[in-house]
Structure 1
Amino acid sequence: MNRQQQKLQTRQRIVDAAFSLLDENRSLTAISLREVARAAGIAPTSFYRHFSDINELGLTLVDESGLTLRQLMRQARQRLESGGSVINISVDTFMEYIVENKNIFRLLLREHTGTSSAFRAAVMREIQHFTQELTDYIVDNLSLPRDIASLQAEAMVNLVFSAGAKALDTDLQKIPMISERVKVQLRFVQLGSFAYVNHKSK
């Protein structure tokens, strides 16, 4: 392994260590650089070879959380080629992700309304990325005007994130019920978009 690969590996250890320290009681602003370094198995001084401070690490965590989730949802939409409902597949994929990656999703939820303006802005950017990608999908596959598609995408992203928040710390047995409710709500939004476009064209 060369020096650059070692550096990337250590950087990823730091990121993974920070994620492991987050839980329902601890936010990004509550963890310290020393804690992260200890969990990553490095000296605190080594931290600065990878991040300028704990805030830069926090922004990286937000970016990685959003990117990971967006990639997962893209893969879910690609699975439609083998048949199935985009709403069903997307919601099921999203809920599976939350169950397996609670700390990552909790980070996005918590920092969306957290005390750090930089973290709030970073989460908003990730949500905008979600909305933009879904808007593009709706325009390409449902042939709705972009302004309507954008409003539909925004409503859908808000509903799914809200359902994710409910599922985060609930019993596993209740997650299917939460999933089914949000699937119905998403269909309401989708049908409403078509009805609105048809109404405007009359």
Structure 2
Amino acid sequence: MNRQQQKLKTRRAIIDAAFNLLDEQRSLSSVSLREVARAAGIAPTSFYRHFKDIDELGLTLVDEAGLALRQLMRQARSRIDAGGGVITTSVNTFMEFVVANSNEFRLLLREHSGTSPAFRAAVIREIQHFIEELSDYTANHTELSGNLASLQAEAMVRLVFSAGAEAIDASPAQREIQAQRLIQQLRIISKGASFYVSKA
């Protein structure tokens, strides 16, 4: 393994260690640089070869969490294109992400309303990316105008994130009930947008 590969491997270990330290009790602001370094198996001084400080690591975690979610939803759209229902497939995929990546989703939820302006801005940016992708998909697959597709996407994404906050610590049975309710709510939003077009 050359030096560049080793550097990338160590950087990945730091990111993974930081995610693993986050849970239902711990937020990003309560995790120290020394803890992350210890969990990653490196000396604290080695941390600075990869990140300027713990805040830069935090911004990277937000970016990674948002990217992971967007990539998963892109896969959902592939499943939709193969014949799955748009809303049901999207909700099921999102709930899978919440369960499999609970620390990543908790990070997005917490920092969205956290004390760090930089982290809040980063999460808002990730949510906006999510809205824009859904808006583009909707505009390309329905009769909605770009503006209406954007309004619908924003309403849907905010509702989905709110549902995710409830689902993250729920039992599988509770989560299934929440998913079905979310599917119905999203269908109502979608029908409302279609009705708006028909009356325009």
Counterpart-to-counterpart distance in 1, 2:119 and 2:89: 30
Counterpart-to-counterpart distance in 2, 1:170 and 1:177: 10
- Give the structure 2 partner of residue 164 of structure 1: 164
Unaligned 5+ residue runs, structure 2? Answer: none
Counterpart-to-counterpart distance in 2, 1:132 and 1:84: 22
The alpha-carbon deviation at position 6 of structure 1 amounts to 0.6
- Give the structure 1 partner of residue 173 of structure 2: 173
Number of matched residues? 200
- Give the structure 2 partner of residue 74 of structure 1: 74
Q: Quick one: which amino acid aligns to residue 82 of structure 2?
A: S
Is the partner of 1:134 in helix, strand or coil? Answer: helix
Greater Cα shift, 22-31 or 43-52: 22-31
Counterpart-to-counterpart distance in 2, 1:165 and 1:90: 16
- The answer on 1:93 being equivalent to 2:93 is yes
- The answer on 1:22 being equivalent to 2:19 is no
Q: Quick one: which amino acid aligns to residue 84 of structure 2?
A: G
- The answer on 1:123 being equivalent to 2:123 is yes
Deviations 1:92-127 (Å, cap 9, x if unpaired)?
011011111110000000000000000000000000
Segments ≥4 residues shifted beyond 2 Å: none
Question: Which runs of structure 2 are paired with 1:1-202 in the superposition (5 Å)?
Answer: 1-200=1-200
Normalising by structure 1, report the TM-score: 0.98
Counterpart-to-counterpart distance in 2, 1:116 and 1:23: 19
Is the partner of 2:50 in helix, strand or coil? Answer: coil
Counterpart-to-counterpart distance in 2, 1:31 and 1:83: 44
The alpha-carbon deviation at position 82 of structure 1 amounts to 2.1
Counterpart-to-counterpart distance in 2, 1:56 and 1:122: 11
Counterpart-to-counterpart distance in 1, 2:132 and 2:61: 21
Counterpart-to-counterpart distance in 2, 1:89 and 1:123: 24
- Give me the CA root mean square deviation: 0.6
Is the partner of 1:23 in helix, strand or coil? Answer: coil
Q: Quick one: which amino acid aligns to residue 142 of structure 1?
A: T
Unaligned 5+ residue runs, structure 1? Answer: none
Normalising by structure 2, report the TM-score: 0.99
Query: Percent sequence identity over matched residues?
Result: 65
